[in-house]
Amino acid sequence: MLKRYNITETYTPHMEQEYEKVIGLEVHVRVKSQTKMFCSCRNAVALASEPNTNICSICSGFPWMLPQLNKEVVRLGLIGWMMMGCEVNKTSRFDRKSYYYPDLPTSFQTTQLFETIVWKGSVKTIVNWETKEFGIHHMHLENDAGKLTHAWGKTLVDFNRAGSPLMEIVTDPVFRSADDATEFLREIQKIMRAAWVSDADMDKGQMRCDVNLSIRPTWQEEFGTRTEHKNVNSFGAVSRVINAEYKRQLKIIQSWWEVDQETRWWDDDTGTSTSQRSKENAMDYRYFPEPDILPLVLEDDFIQAAKQKLVELPVERRIRYLDIHKLQEDDARLLTADYELSNYFEKLVELTKDPKKSCSYITTILLALIKESDEEKNISDLWFDVEEVAQVINLVNNDELSSTNSKAVIEELFNNGGKADDIVDAKWLRQKNDMWALEAIVDQVIEDNQTQVEQYKWWNENIFGYFVGQSMKLSKWQWNPKIFNELLKKKLG
């Protein structure tokens, strides 16, 4: 039953100390499989193409068509969930959640309610310098609906994304602040990207989230009545919903009214929400086992193969960067925000054994160059190997190149590619002490080969390569032949 209330402006900030937020999230992540969940329509391009061009009789709900479960969706989902430490149910079933809405061609959603594919799990993250672990209540697979566009006084429907696979992740009411909730979401995004399960871009609707919130006096164990905001679609909006809804509920309680359990709609432009409908319960959806799909039985080999694809958790990397590599918090955060970037860092550390310099060459030089350049480049798109950056760092650490000059070498690599050693030599940047060592080698070669020197000077210029070879040999092939070339030319005249 809905109660009408008239909120008096008696809200006082001191109540914020007495009442805490209790938040639970339902997150939907679009799995990046090649094809949709139950048919062979393409999945990844579903949103970009012309409306209603990427559909078939299965995903547009023709009554006689039989869905066929996409194995890749199950595999990717399993990888994502296992990254969150879930327990796997070898046998699961699909259920129909029936409701009518114009974007739902089948009039039911194929989901899992009674026996889901996985169970439990948790996500660890860092919230304001504190490591926290948030419990997940359950997770399952389901298919997406189409998309409605309201324009010119009409509503248009596009079924391109109908039948796209979604992983649903439902948390326990474990968050106590907007920061808790948004850091959790960011962590999910990182996990999905690291494991190649989803791009989880909220702007593109690849990750959406329902925010459930109630408030309670800090001393009270029992939870209050919650409201739900559906399909909140940016990290910022999640944060704004939480703070606005908290204040709204506080005002209600302070005016001695009760919070209604309802679904509310958030308007991010005005920063306000309005009641949409009173909360439905499972009964309203007439859930029943999906008769068109057989129970899903996972074989051990299949589970094992998915396990092989697990990668180190982004948060574990972040903690390792802080504790073992002793990086600054901001740097650790920046490097692990993008798994490719942290892979690059990992490789650089492996080659240089110098985490601090590896970090600073990435963050202060490479990323700055990428930012300055007009092209939208990723660290993995650079046209020189990570080995070259490692070589620059190693040269600096061996006192063969100054820090100042090293920047010029990286810039040259960035602009024209090539090899670090070649650039250092071409630009005569190898440090003095080494030049002396090289000159000493060349002098030695000249002294030891006087006959050949005479030959070269008087009639046989072809013999020049011989001196280069001798110098290389004497230097144990540690140096670039080009530099010997230069030196020998100078000395032999």
Distances in Å between the alpha carbon of 63 and those of 59, 98, 107, 144, 162? Answer: 10, 15, 11, 18, 15
Residue 171 binding target from Zn ion, ligand ADP, none, CB below 5 to 8 Å by type: ligand ADP
Neighbour order of strands in the sheet with 95-98:
108-111, 95-98, 288-289
Q: Can residue 249 be called a binding residue for ligand ADP (CB under 6 A)?
A: no
Part of the chain binding ligand ADP (CB under 6 A), chosen from 4-12, 61-69, 208-216, 430-438: 208-216
Asked whether 362 and 369 are in contact (CB, 8 A), the reply is no
Smallest separation (angstroms) from ligand ADP to the CB of 11: 20
Among 23, 25, 37, 59, binds Zn ion (CB under 5 A): 59
Smallest separation (angstroms) from Zn ion to the CB of 56: 3
Each residue 438-477 as x (binds Zn ion by CB under 5 A) or -, in order, gives: ----------------------------------------
Q: Can residue 213 be called a binding residue for ligand ADP (CB under 6 A)?
A: yes
Smallest separation (angstroms) from Zn ion to the CB of 163: 5
Nearer to ligand ADP, 244 or 351 (CB): 244
Smallest separation (angstroms) from ligand ADP to the CB of 417: 50
Residue 179 binding target from Zn ion, ligand ADP, none, CB below 5 to 8 Å by type: none
Smallest separation (angstroms) from ligand ADP to the CB of 77: 19
Contacts 24+ apart (CB under 8 A), 59-66: 59/105, 59/159, 59/162, 59/163, 60/105, 60/159, 60/162, 61/104, 61/105, 61/106, 61/107, 61/162, 66/292
Q: Can residue 44 be called a binding residue for Zn ion (CB under 5 A)?
A: no
Strands 19-30 and 207-217: antiparallel
Nearer to ligand ADP, 215 or 334 (CB): 215
Closest CA to 408 of 422, 429, 388: 429
Smallest separation (angstroms) from ligand ADP to the CB of 87: 18
Distances in Å between the alpha carbon of 371 and those of 130, 348, 375, 403? Answer: 31, 20, 9, 21
Part of the chain binding Zn ion (CB under 5 A), chosen from 10-18, 51-59, 380-388, 480-488: 51-59
Distance CA 129, CA 127 (A): 6
Strands 108-111 and 95-98: antiparallel
Residue 387 binding target from ligand ADP, Zn ion, none, CB below 5 to 8 Å by type: none
Residue 314 binding target from Zn ion, ligand ADP, none, CB below 5 to 8 Å by type: none
Q: Can residue 214 be called a binding residue for ligand ADP (CB under 6 A)?
A: yes
Smallest separation (angstroms) from ligand ADP to the CB of 35: 28
Smallest separation (angstroms) from ligand ADP to the CB of 286: 14
Strands 19-30 and 165-171: antiparallel
CA angle 76, 80, 81 (to 5 degrees): 115
Asked whether 142 and 110 are in contact (CB, 8 A), the reply is yes
Residue 172 C-alpha from the chain's centroid: 23
Nearer to ligand ADP, 170 or 474 (CB): 170
Q: N- to C-terminal Cα distance for the chain? A: 100
Part of the chain binding ligand ADP (CB under 6 A), chosen from 24-32, 34-42, 353-361, 426-434: 24-32
Nearer to ligand ADP, 75 or 216 (CB): 216
Smallest separation (angstroms) from ligand ADP to the CB of 283: 11
Give me 144's structure tokens.
């997406």
User: What does 260-299 look like in DSSP terms, one character per residue?
Assistant: --EEEEEETTTTEEEEEEEPP-GGGGT-EE-TTSPPEE--
DSSP class of residue 89 equals P
Question: Which residues 131-190 are close enough to bind ligand ADP by CB under 6 A?
Answer: 170-173
Part of the chain binding Zn ion (CB under 5 A), chosen from 36-44, 115-123, 126-134, 139-147: 36-44
Among 15, 44, 47, 56, binds Zn ion (CB under 5 A): 56
Q: Can residue 26 be called a binding residue for ligand ADP (CB under 6 A)?
A: yes
SS3 of residue 227 by DSSP:
strand
Q: What are phi and psi of 269, to 5 degrees?
A: -70, -40
Q: Can residue 342 be called a binding residue for ligand ADP (CB under 6 A)?
A: no
Residue 213 binding target from ligand ADP, Zn ion, none, CB below 5 to 8 Å by type: ligand ADP
Among 25, 242, 420, 483, binds ligand ADP (CB under 6 A): 25
Q: Can residue 73 be called a binding residue for Zn ion (CB under 5 A)?
A: no
Among 226, 248, 264, 318, binds ligand ADP (CB under 6 A): 226
Q: Can residue 39 be called a binding residue for Zn ion (CB under 5 A)?
A: yes
Residue with tokens 């490789």: 347
Distance CA 402, CA 395 (A): 8
Binding site for Zn ion (CB under 5 A): 39, 41, 56, 58-59
Binding site for ligand ADP (CB under 6 A): 22-26, 170-173, 212-214, 223, 226
